[in-house]
A and B are shown apart, each in its own frame.
Chain A
Amino acid sequence: DVKVTQSSRYLVKRTGEKVFLECVQDMDHENMFWYRQDPGLGLRLIYFSYDVKMKEKGDIPEGYSVSREKKERFSLILESASTNQTSMYLCASSVTPRGMDEKLFFGSGTQLSVL
């Protein structure tokens, strides 16, 4: 089975801190994604990557950056955490080549609270 592992299930951070969320997949998938999930708003795409060292903005990239130095690892960075970034963060990967239908495999999520 495909396994997408997020480093933390729960995180509590202070406003202004730099926050790193790590995600690792074990199936050699080319594509990786970061979403945030908020009640009433659904899943919103923050950033995605179709290859190592490659990144593209999703629908809500403001306040976030990403890093993909290795194929299996995709990191989400909050440069200066703010309270409106309190959310459930979901990492996903997919094997489908770019341009075809994506079928996503998700991690279990990181619930981030920014105080």
Chain B
Amino acid sequence: TQLLEQSPQFLSIQEGENLTVYCNSSSVFSSLQWYRQEPGEGPVLLVTVVTGGEVKKLKRLTFQFGDARKDSSLHITAAQPGDTGLYLCAGSGAGSYQLTFGKGTKLSVIP
């Protein structure tokens, strides 16, 4: 069974601060996805990374896939209250047709 560990579990920061959340595994993934889930809604896909070392940017969000394709990070610059939500990483493993989800990082950005 492939596991994805996310850290921190909870994060509360002031508007304007920077933050990084992590998604780690001992397994290799063929790709890794990040979702954001707002209260009362389903998760929404933010990005997919597929190549070891890949970096993708989405406005103030920067996603990185580790060189060995076992880990990923999400960095948010100058966080805003609209960034508040649950951030989930999900990995697609070699030989598996299913996504494995981490337990999520719950982010609160205080105005």
Contact = CB atoms under 8 A, between A and B. Distances in A.
B50 to A, nearest CB: 7
Given A101-B31, A101-B50, A4 B98 contact: no
A101 B103 contact: no
Interface stretch (A11-19, A36-44, A67-75, A79-87): A36-44
Nearest to A42: B103
Nearest to B33: A103
A104 B97 contact: no
B43 A106 contact: yes
Contact of B98 (A42, A45, A107, A108): A45
A34 interface: no
A106 B98 contact: no
Q: Which of A45, A104, A105 has the most CB of B within 10 A?
A: A104
Contacts of A106: 42-44
B103 A102 contact: no
B101 interface: yes
Contacts of A108: 40-42
B33 A43 contact: no
Interface in A6-61: 9, 40-43, 45, 48, 58
